[in-house]
Protein backbone atom coordinates (compact mmCIF):
# COMPACT_ATOMS: atom_id res chain seq x y z
CA UNK A 1 0.00 0.00 0.00
CA UNK A 2 1.47 3.31 -1.03
CA UNK A 3 0.43 6.74 0.08
CA UNK A 4 1.96 10.00 -0.83
CA UNK A 5 2.55 12.68 1.75
CA UNK A 6 3.97 15.90 0.38
CA UNK A 7 5.50 14.06 -2.57
CA UNK A 8 7.33 11.38 -0.47
CA UNK A 9 6.46 7.69 -0.84
CA UNK A 10 5.68 6.11 2.52
CA UNK A 11 5.64 2.32 2.60
CA UNK A 12 4.58 0.16 5.48
CA UNK A 13 7.59 -1.67 6.95
CA UNK A 14 7.48 -5.45 6.73
CA UNK A 15 10.58 -6.10 8.89
CA UNK A 16 11.53 -5.86 12.55
CA UNK A 17 12.80 -2.77 14.27
CA UNK A 18 16.13 -2.76 16.08
CA UNK A 19 14.34 -2.53 19.44
CA UNK A 20 12.27 -5.64 18.69
CA UNK A 21 15.39 -7.59 17.71
CA UNK A 22 17.23 -6.46 20.85
CA UNK A 23 14.29 -7.52 23.05
CA UNK A 24 14.39 -11.00 21.48
CA UNK A 25 18.18 -11.20 22.03
CA UNK A 26 17.78 -10.23 25.70
CA UNK A 27 15.03 -12.82 26.22
CA UNK A 28 17.15 -15.55 24.60
CA UNK A 29 20.09 -14.53 26.79
CA UNK A 30 18.04 -14.75 29.97
CA UNK A 31 16.59 -18.13 29.04
CA UNK A 32 19.99 -19.56 28.12
CA UNK A 33 21.57 -18.28 31.34
CA UNK A 34 18.94 -20.27 33.25
CA UNK A 35 18.92 -23.38 31.05
CA UNK A 36 22.66 -23.96 30.52
CA UNK A 37 23.61 -24.56 34.19
CA UNK A 38 20.69 -26.97 34.54
CA UNK A 39 21.85 -28.78 31.43
CA UNK A 40 25.38 -29.07 32.88
CA UNK A 41 23.97 -30.54 36.10
CA UNK A 42 22.04 -33.17 34.15
CA UNK A 43 25.15 -34.08 32.15
CA UNK A 44 27.12 -34.52 35.40
CA UNK A 45 24.33 -36.65 36.89
CA UNK A 46 24.31 -38.85 33.77
CA UNK A 47 28.10 -39.31 33.88
CA UNK A 48 27.96 -40.09 37.60
CA UNK A 49 25.18 -42.65 37.00
CA UNK A 50 27.29 -44.27 34.28
CA UNK A 51 30.24 -44.49 36.68
CA UNK A 52 28.01 -46.05 39.33
CA UNK A 53 26.78 -48.65 36.85
CA UNK A 54 30.40 -49.39 35.91
CA UNK A 55 31.32 -49.79 39.58
CA UNK A 56 28.44 -52.22 40.07
CA UNK A 57 29.58 -54.17 37.00
CA UNK A 58 33.15 -54.34 38.33
CA UNK A 59 31.87 -55.44 41.74
CA UNK A 60 30.04 -58.30 40.00
CA UNK A 61 33.27 -59.11 38.12
CA UNK A 62 35.10 -59.33 41.45
CA UNK A 63 32.40 -61.58 42.91
CA UNK A 64 32.61 -63.91 39.90
CA UNK A 65 36.40 -63.91 40.33
CA UNK A 66 35.98 -64.84 44.00
CA UNK A 67 33.63 -67.68 43.08
CA UNK A 68 35.94 -69.13 40.46
CA UNK A 69 39.29 -68.59 42.26
CA UNK A 70 38.29 -68.81 45.94
CA UNK A 71 39.44 -65.26 46.75
CA UNK A 72 39.72 -61.76 45.36
CA UNK A 73 43.45 -61.96 44.53
CA UNK A 74 44.73 -63.10 41.13
CA UNK A 75 45.32 -66.70 42.26
CA UNK A 76 42.53 -66.69 44.81
CA UNK A 77 44.33 -66.64 48.15
CA UNK A 78 47.67 -65.31 46.87
CA UNK A 79 49.16 -63.07 44.23
CA UNK A 80 48.38 -59.54 43.20
CA UNK A 81 45.12 -57.83 42.36
CA UNK A 82 43.36 -59.13 39.24
CA UNK A 83 43.20 -57.00 36.09
CA UNK A 84 39.88 -55.27 35.62
CA UNK A 85 38.08 -55.78 32.28
CA UNK A 86 37.82 -51.99 31.75
CA UNK A 87 39.29 -48.98 33.54
CA UNK A 88 37.32 -45.95 32.38
CA UNK A 89 33.77 -44.71 32.40
CA UNK A 90 31.99 -44.43 30.07
CA UNK A 91 33.38 -47.56 28.44
CA UNK A 92 32.42 -46.63 24.87
CA UNK A 93 33.69 -43.05 24.84
CA UNK A 94 37.04 -41.61 23.87
CA UNK A 95 36.89 -39.02 26.66
CA UNK A 96 36.73 -40.61 30.09
CA UNK A 97 34.82 -38.91 32.91
CA UNK A 98 36.00 -41.41 35.56
CA UNK A 99 39.03 -43.66 35.98
CA UNK A 100 38.11 -47.03 37.51
CA UNK A 101 40.52 -49.05 39.62
CA UNK A 102 40.87 -51.34 42.60
CA UNK A 103 41.72 -49.38 45.74
CA UNK A 104 44.91 -50.15 47.61
CA UNK A 105 44.77 -52.86 50.25
CA UNK A 106 42.99 -55.63 48.34
CA UNK A 107 43.25 -58.98 50.13
CA UNK A 108 41.95 -62.47 49.47
CA UNK A 109 38.79 -61.60 51.42
CA UNK A 110 38.32 -57.84 50.80
CA UNK A 111 38.36 -55.35 47.94
CA UNK A 112 37.16 -51.88 47.09
CA UNK A 113 36.56 -50.58 43.56
CA UNK A 114 36.77 -46.84 43.01
CA UNK A 115 35.79 -44.35 40.33
CA UNK A 116 37.95 -41.24 40.39
CA UNK A 117 36.62 -38.23 38.47
CA UNK A 118 38.84 -36.89 35.66
CA UNK A 119 38.51 -34.36 32.88
CA UNK A 120 35.22 -32.51 32.90
CA UNK A 121 34.15 -34.28 36.11
CA UNK A 122 37.33 -33.47 38.08
CA UNK A 123 35.59 -30.74 40.09
CA UNK A 124 32.52 -32.85 40.88
CA UNK A 125 31.20 -32.38 44.42
CA UNK A 126 30.79 -36.14 44.88
CA UNK A 127 34.51 -36.82 44.43
CA UNK A 128 35.68 -40.42 44.23
CA UNK A 129 32.88 -43.01 44.26
CA UNK A 130 33.58 -46.42 45.84
CA UNK A 131 31.96 -49.78 46.46
CA UNK A 132 33.49 -52.59 48.50
CA UNK A 133 33.12 -56.37 48.95
CA UNK A 134 30.18 -55.86 51.35
CA UNK A 135 28.31 -53.68 48.86
CA UNK A 136 28.96 -50.58 50.96
CA UNK A 137 28.94 -47.47 48.78
CA UNK A 138 30.98 -44.37 49.47
CA UNK A 139 31.72 -40.96 48.02
CA UNK A 140 33.49 -37.73 48.81
CA UNK A 141 30.17 -35.86 49.06
CA UNK A 142 26.57 -36.19 50.18
CA UNK A 143 25.67 -39.88 49.89
CA UNK A 144 21.97 -39.18 49.28
CA UNK A 145 22.84 -36.92 46.36
CA UNK A 146 25.79 -38.86 45.00
CA UNK A 147 24.38 -42.39 45.03
CA UNK A 148 20.65 -41.50 44.85
CA UNK A 149 19.63 -43.86 47.64
Burial class (CB in 10 A: 0-12, 13-18, 19+), 111: buried
* pLDDT tens for each residue of 26-52: 999 999 999 998 898 898 888 999 999
Q: 57: closest CA among 89, 82, 35?
A: 89
Q: What is the mean pLDDT of the chain?
A: 86
For residue 113, what pLDDT is reported?
A: 94
DSSP class of residue 13? Answer: -
Amino acid sequence: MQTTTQGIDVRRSAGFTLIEVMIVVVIIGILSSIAYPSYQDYVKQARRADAQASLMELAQFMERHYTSKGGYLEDGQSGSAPSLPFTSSPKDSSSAAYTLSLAQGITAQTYSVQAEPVGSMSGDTCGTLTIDHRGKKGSGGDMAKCWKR
